[in-house]
């Protein structure tokens, strides 16, 4: 089968098409013939040598796919620990979900990593409830667009999002955000406090890290929660502990890739029960596909990802 290998740590040009044996599923796994694979920041971090795969995971990048279970006509999408940039991938059955009715393979490939991550962090860990307010950083990213749509679906009373251009801010508003803040021209703390008349937000989904965490704290309502899932601005933060105590706030973080099959299965079960029935109408949760690229053009896909010009998800097709 064809795969996309990382020939050596480096820029997008180190991705190359190669031939490898088709994987053999282990007990509890299924083999998926891949029709589309999502592209994520984790993939580019792995390509640069900054995010190695967990032990026993494939060294081929790719954390989500959509395709057909080998030997059947079952259309599925799946969350992976690696190996998605390939024509075939073996994955635990517990991490596989049916493609929603009316969604194409390319559209379904945008679901697994984003929706597993957002649902677990925003609704399970940070406990966003109906009527609460949320701030989503990187609102036009795959994670951000998913968070906006899910928050809207489950009754958030106010959704703020940050993005880096007027076009991206408009995309956030079109997806259901009540406020879109261009972080290059405005201070998100003052904009959120103004829009909420000083009440702040109950949850912040932070994909930035670094000095953003201290500023997130300033946007919080009492008993607010910050959940951090990525740290491009740095892995350390200096916090005002007095303010943390005054707000009775919580700061938490998580990663998804290295967690156990059982943990991922629990998220999949919750998604199947609470989210999957809402997907076929494609409103308010709909696929947000920025662009698609062939395997041969994977370098261009990664270049677009790292340019941060995309809105939604970039997808590779074998």
d(CA 37, CA 317): 6
Report the pLDDT value the prediction gives residue 267, as an integer from 0 to 100.
98
Specify the pairing of strand 75-79 against strand 250-253.
Answer: unpaired
pLDDT tens digits along 137-153: 999 999 999 999 999 99
Spatial CA neighbour of 148 closest among 308, 311, 306, 301: 311
The model's pTM is: 0.96
Q: Phi/psi at 226 (nearest 5 deg)? A: -110, 130
CATH superfamily of 2-111+257-317: Medium-chain alcohol dehydrogenases, catalytic domain (3.90.180.10)
Rounded to an integer, the average pLDDT of 89-102 is: 98
pLDDT bucket at 14, cuts 50 / 70 / 90: very high
pLDDT tens digits along 184-200: 999 999 999 999 999 99
- CATH fit for domain 115-253, picks 1.10.1740.10, 1.10.10.10, 1.20.59.10, 3.40.50.720: 3.40.50.720
Report the pLDDT value the prediction gives residue 204, as an integer from 0 to 100.
98
3-state DSSP assignment of residue 119: helix
Report the pLDDT value the prediction gives residue 147, as an integer from 0 to 100.
98
pLDDT tens digits along 45-63: 999 999 999 998 999 999 9
Q: How many CB atoms lie within 10 A of CB 146?
A: 27
pLDDT bucket at 77, cuts 50 / 70 / 90: very high
Domain boundaries, the chain: 2-111+257-317, 115-253
């Amino acid at each position: 089968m064809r795969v996309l290998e990382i020939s050596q740590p480096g820029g997008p040009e180190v991705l190359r098409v190669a031939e490898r044996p088709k994987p053999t599923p282990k007990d509890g796994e299924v083999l998926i013939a891949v029709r589309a694979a999502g592209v994520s920041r984790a993939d580019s971090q792995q390509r640069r040598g900054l995010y190695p795969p967990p032990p026993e995971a494939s060294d081929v990048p790719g954390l989500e796919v959509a395709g057909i279970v080998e030997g059947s006509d079952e259309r599925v999408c799946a969350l992976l620990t690696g190996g998605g940039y390939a024509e075939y991938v073996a994955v635990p059955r517990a991490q596989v979900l049916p493609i929603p009715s009316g969604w194409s393979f390319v559209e379904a490939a945008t679901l697994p990593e984003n929706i597993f991550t957002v649902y677990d962090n925003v609704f399970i860990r940070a406990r966003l409830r109906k009527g609460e307010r949320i701030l989503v950083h990187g609102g036009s990213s795959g994670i951000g667009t998913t968070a906006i749509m899910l928050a809207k679906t489950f009754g958030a009373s106010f959704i703020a999002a940050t993005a880096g251009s007027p076009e991206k801010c408009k995309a956030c508003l079109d997806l259901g955000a009540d406020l879109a803040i261009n972080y290059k021209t405005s201070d998100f703390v003052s904009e959120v406090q103004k829009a909420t008349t000083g009440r702040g937000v109950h949850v912040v989904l932070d994909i930035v890290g670094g000095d953003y965490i201290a500023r997130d704290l300033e946007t919080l309502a009492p008993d607010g929660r910050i959940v951090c899932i990525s740290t491009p601005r740095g892995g350390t933060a200096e916090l005002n502990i007095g303010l943390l105590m005054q707000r009775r706030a919580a700061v938490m973080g998580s990663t998804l890739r290295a967690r156990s099959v059982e943990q991922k299965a629990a998220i999949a079960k919750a998604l199947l029960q609470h989210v999957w029935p809402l997907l076929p109408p494609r409103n308010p949760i709909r696929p947000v596909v920025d662009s698609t690229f062939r395997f041969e053009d994977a370098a261009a896909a990664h270049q677009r990802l790292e340019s941060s010009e995309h809105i939604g998800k970039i997808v590779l097709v074998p």
